[in-house]
Structure 1
Amino acid sequence: MIIAIDGPAASGKGTLAKRLAAHYGLRHLDTGVIYRAVAYALMSRGADLKDEASAVSAAKSLDPRTFDDPALKSHQVGTAASVVSAIPAVRAALVEFQRQFASQPPGAVLDGRDIGTVICPNADVKIFVVADPKIRAERRTIEARGRGEAADEATILADILARDERDQNRPVAPLKPASDAYLLDNSHLDIEGGVRAAIDIVEAVRAGRREV
């Protein structure tokens, strides 16, 4: 079984995807980490984030062992990843990596921004997770401060809105729900509530129901 979890950053989809994977015994891939790793590689050597040749080179030489690096979680790297992910050649270089991961048994839960529309258009279940931008900014601020980073909620909100605008309007793989995706509004759900809602969606699909 392949489950595609899409939606904007800080909507809670990452935690939800991990919990779903554990619940169903599937593998999990946060595809945003891939783009963060590319961005971080460029930032580490002072390269221009919009330099296509450098970005593609970084994408083709990724080491999955670096995906757990705490540095990839910073707000700055997340913003840089959005810039890098808008480069068509970078996305093309990373598509096969993601599809191979999804195809390996027993299946996988992938979360990102174009899983159900581009990476795994034939996924068994597609869920598009959203949350109010102000709530997402609050969550991201709490996460950042929890890591000891100085974080201004107003600045983070402005960055989130700018990133959404950029991702929704990029020419390749724009952020949007697949036509057959289920919408899950996570604005006022805690972790447990969000996970239960997602499991209800998966079980509805498995039972052949469209309504949850």
Structure 2
Amino acid sequence: MTGEQEAGERRGPGERAGPIVAIDGPAGVGKTSVARAVAARLGFRYVNTGAMYRAVAYEALRRRIAPDDAPALAAIARRLAIDFREGSHGQRVLLAGEDVTEALQSPAVSEAASLVSAHPEVRQALVVLQRRLAGDGRVVVEGRDIGTVVFPDAEVKVFLTASPEERARRRYRELRAKGIEVAYEDLRAAEEARDERDRRRPHSPLRAAPDAVVIDTTERELEEVVEAVLRLCQERLRVV
């Protein structure tokens, strides 16, 4: 896939019917909770791009495809039959019609997703899908490279951060609540290793866009962060 083909899938602000809110950051900073809440308050759709990388990783693990087999992984990404459904307990992720929401949250899938996402071929394939899902705008998109690569012209860009300790604690509580047993120290070490890989990868590294507003969520409650993002949307979009 060429850069021209990839860019051809993206509509600029003047071509979209509505704005795009990009929310980026590493794991454990509250991206999903914040993005979902902001989308609900704005009446926008919500797209979780991280679930797409997890879905590719899940399918690769299921097929026993090695994480360094870029051509095979890219083939999975190009044919990814993923769908998002809103339910009474939040958004559900369906892969070829199968609900894999819980399965995508396992530590094994998280680790594999970081390795899978390092391949440019995989990222290029999923960027096209992400832009297609965003359609005409009026959408909140969360991920790790939304404001820098997927939608560099997004009207609102936010980059969330938090201390490594707080991020690991949040992730630990989340997994335990879902019945997934994991040692806190192992989880923290895995997250730090993933962050390092994501920051150092040559294609779409994890970083804040130059024009993104950085919000540290370490000592902030969810509603406080949501309100901060909504105020930014009010300033930039005049919609709240």
Q: Please give the TM-score of this superposition, normalised by the length of structure 2.
A: 0.83
How many corresponding residue pairs? 206
From 172, 192, 201, the equivalent of 1:170 is 201
Matched, 1:89 2:121: yes
Mapping of residues 63-74 of structure 1, within 5 Å: 63-65=81-83, 66=94, 69=100, 70-74=102-106
More helix as a share of residues: 1
Letter in 1 for 2:33: T
More strand as a share of residues: 2
Matched, 1:98 2:130: yes
| d(CA) in 2 for partners of 1:49, 1:59 | 13
- Runs of at least 4 residues off by over 4 Å: none
SS of equivalent residue, structure 1 residue 195: helix
Q: Percent identity at matched positions?
A: 42
SS of equivalent residue, structure 2 residue 73: helix
| d(CA) in 2 for partners of 1:101, 1:108 | 9
**Conservation of the 8 A alpha-carbon contact between 1:31 and 1:110:** yes
Letter in 2 for 1:43: L
Mapping of residues 1-212 of structure 1, within 5 Å: 1-65=19-83, 66=94, 69=100, 70-105=102-137, 107-206=138-237
SS of equivalent residue, structure 1 residue 172: coil
**Conservation of the 8 A alpha-carbon contact between 1:7 and 1:130:** yes
Letter in 1 for 2:108: Q
TM-superposed CA distance for 1:153, in Å, is 0.8
**Conservation of the 8 A alpha-carbon contact between 1:28 and 1:108:** yes
CA RMSD of aligned residues (A): 1.2
| d(CA) in 2 for partners of 1:129, 1:98 | 20
TM-superposed CA distance for 1:104, in Å, is 2.6
Letter in 2 for 1:79: E
Structure 2, gaps ≥5 residues long: 1-18, 84-93
Q: Please give the TM-score of this superposition, normalised by the length of structure 1.
A: 0.94
| d(CA) in 2 for partners of 1:197, 1:164 | 25
